[in-house]
Amino acid sequence: MKKILITGAAGFLGSHLSDRFIKEEYHVIGMDNLLTGSMDNLAHLMSHPNFDFYHHDVTKFVHIPGQLDYILHFASPASPIDYLKMPIQTLKVGSLGTHNLLGLAKAKNARMLIASTSEVYGDPLIHPQNEEYWGNVNPVGPRGVYDEAKRFMEAMTMAYHTFHGVETRIVRIFNTYGPRMRVNDGRALPAFFHQAIKGDDITVFGDGLQTRSFCFVSDLIEGIYRLLHSDYAQPVNIGNPNEITILQAAKEVIAITNSTSKIIHLELPKDDPKVRQPDISRAKEILDWEPKVSREDGLVKTLAYFKSVIT
């Protein structure tokens, strides 16, 4: 049985990845310091014979006994509300944590995939964004702690790949949504669902004409699974190229929840990207992957989840 370590396992994406690899009959070791993750996301796996959980901070030395075949590094605060509140931890998990895990991958001869992000492109000057674009990031702005942590992750990962011959993969994740997102994580769709279900005003930053491209979580997990098992070491965008404005997203949430909420506008945060849309040509060609779940279906499934957790 193949053994895989998933860091950030109690988070939104980490828990879905844990489910997928259990389903594929891997032995899964979930690791999380629970800074932003929740054990509720893993409760259904805790009694599974092929799942172990380690409560551990990857910025400290990481030890896994015995065989280890794969590592998925998904530990990190991932929403603006988190990394603005925890800037040092965000930088440390991207730097020290990545270094520790690459050292473990080297020692175990394991393949390691890191969770990078579309934020490496910053406020992009090309549209849509492809993997050849180097980005437009403000390293000393409030978002720099997350953007530069992820850019450093990529650089460190490629250094271990080229210098030490470690098998590595890099996924650049675009906006993803679905069940197990934290209600209060500060990102657009959870905020809109929370406000709409409660009947509160929907808060849209700026004029709402900034764009995002929302990918349902099951599509993202499939892309990551394929990338891990591919032979491709350069970064790959995984996301849904169906681009909409934030204002349109707010209106869709109001419609699907049958809410009476009104939209209000607040000041746009500093360095907030004006556009975000993945070019997924590389994923199509190399992984034979593209998203399958329509936004309408994805929003229905996400609404069911938020209704179950919002009281």
Residue 78, Cβ density class (10 Å: 0-12 exposed, 13-18 middle, ≥19 buried): buried
Between CA 274 and CA 271 the distance in angstroms is 9
Are 108 and 256 contacting, i.e. CB atoms less than 8 angstroms apart?
Answer: no
- H helices of the chain, where? 12-23, 80-85, 87-92, 98-108, 144-164, 188-198, 217-228, 246-257, 281-287, 295-309
Q: Which of 70, 146, 160, 225 is catalytic?
A: 146
Between CA 209 and CA 187 the distance in angstroms is 16
Are 194 and 137 contacting, i.e. CB atoms less than 8 angstroms apart?
Answer: no
146 is catalytic: yes
Instruction: Give how far the C-alpha of residue 195 lies from the chain's centroid of Cα atoms, to the nearest Å.
Output: 23
Cα 29–Cα 30–Cα 33 angle in degrees, nearest 5: 135
DSSP one-letter code for 148? H
Task: Write the single-letter amino acid at 141.
Answer: G
Which residues carry out catalysis? 146
